[in-house]
Amino acid sequence: MNADRKPLACLLRTAPSSALVRGRFAPSPTGRMHLGNVYAALLSYVSAKSQGGAWLLRIEDIDTQRSKAEWAERLMDDLDWLGLRWDGDVVWQSRRTALYEEMLGRLAALGVLYPCCCTRQELAAASAPHAADGHTVYDGRCRVSPRRAIENPAGQTLRLMTPPLPDERAWPAGATDEQTFADEICGPQRLQLSWEWGDFVVRRRDGAWAYQFCVAVDDALTGVTEVVRGDDLLRSTAPQRYVQALLGLPRPSRYAHIPLLLAADGRRLSKRDASLAMDALRQRHAATDLIAHLCRLSGLDADRVLALAGR
């Protein structure tokens, strides 16, 4: 736990906002929700609703191997059971292919995409590990020698260039290497895209869309103004804001990355933690007790939160 974090209680706003507020919960339906997912859902709900805003539900089911409609159905049933009602129609990423194609076309027209045909082994060799957390960053070898890609036209991954961009054109404001934003919980952030991410994938070899690209497009085009989610995604904000800037799309004005709930032994909760999965939780607790428990963990006023959820 980072000592500089602001208390989560700040997410329960004291007055409605005069500006339009649209928050969202964007789960991946790859298993039954667990307590950690409920926590993220609740805090994003509380933030949007305590400002009189809307709360959207987006099912992130682009990973067709791991996502299942059945999990999405149960997830919606769990939100219903908790009393967390979303506004408007559910957004299903799997149904937005035409939109993603259009946005990809726009990036291609800007000349900032390139095919990468590096194999897994080549990628391992072409990526520099970063000391901080061991993630790897692609060194851009297919950008530097595009002939390799043309020689191997089949099965190419598409990557988005991070700065420096190819020519002296006036690139949109915000399409910069250094991405800065304020996070309400984690404080001011400054990330250097080329160092933290390198040229990142927007479409995979098998045609699947990449998470960063879809989230950036969806948040912008569904008018999301605030992103409240787990702090495992803090770093992802930089590539997402970069994609939005390149496409000239609106960017959320507020971010709050919340600490993940951990299992008793300090591990990150996963969908395999049966005792904290919704099946078990629904058998053992009333929805109001569960919400009140999560409010205690995060220092939120449970009565106010329950009232927001119509309880």
Residues making contact with ligand GLU (CB under 6 A): 26-28, 60, 215, 229, 233
Instruction: Please work out, in degrees rounded to the nearest 5, the angle formed at the alpha carbon of residue 93 by the alpha carbons of 197 and 59.
Output: 95
Instruction: Please work out, in degrees rounded to the nearest 5, the angle formed at the alpha carbon of residue 166 by the alpha carbons of 102 and 251.
Output: 45
Please name the residues in contact with 163: beta carbons below 8 A apart, sequence gap of 6 or more.
175, 176, 177, 193, 194
CB of 150 to ligand GLU, least distance (A): 34
Nearer to ligand GLU, 178 or 232 (CB): 232
CB of 293 to ligand GLU, least distance (A): 22
- What sign has the CA pseudo-torsion 247, 89, 79, 74? negative
Nearer to ligand GLU, 6 or 66 (CB): 66
Nearer to ligand GLU, 229 or 241 (CB): 229
CB of 148 to ligand GLU, least distance (A): 33
Please name the residues in contact with 139: beta carbons below 8 A apart, sequence gap of 6 or more.
126, 127, 128, 198
Nearer to ligand GLU, 44 or 50 (CB): 44
CB of 127 to ligand GLU, least distance (A): 23
CB of 311 to ligand GLU, least distance (A): 25
Nearer to ligand GLU, 38 or 215 (CB): 215
Nearer to ligand GLU, 222 or 288 (CB): 222
Please name the residues in contact with 260: beta carbons below 8 A apart, sequence gap of 6 or more.
36, 230, 231, 232, 268, 269
Closest to 86 measured CA to CA, from 128, 55, 125: 55
Instruction: Please work out, in degrees rounded to the nearest 5, the angle formed at the alpha carbon of residue 219 by the alpha carbons of 214 and 222.
Output: 115
Spatial contact of 36 and 70, defined as CB atoms under 8 Å apart: no
Residue at token pair 């990330």:
191
Spatial contact of 79 and 85, defined as CB atoms under 8 Å apart: yes
Nearer to ligand GLU, 115 or 239 (CB): 239
CB of 151 to ligand GLU, least distance (A): 36
Spatial contact of 25 and 227, defined as CB atoms under 8 Å apart: no
CB of 260 to ligand GLU, least distance (A): 10
CB of 45 to ligand GLU, least distance (A): 13
In a 10 Å sphere around its CB, with 0-12 CB exposed, 13-18 middle and 19+ buried, how is residue 292 labelled?
middle
Tokens (6 digits) for 181: 């934003």
Nearer to ligand GLU, 114 or 242 (CB): 242
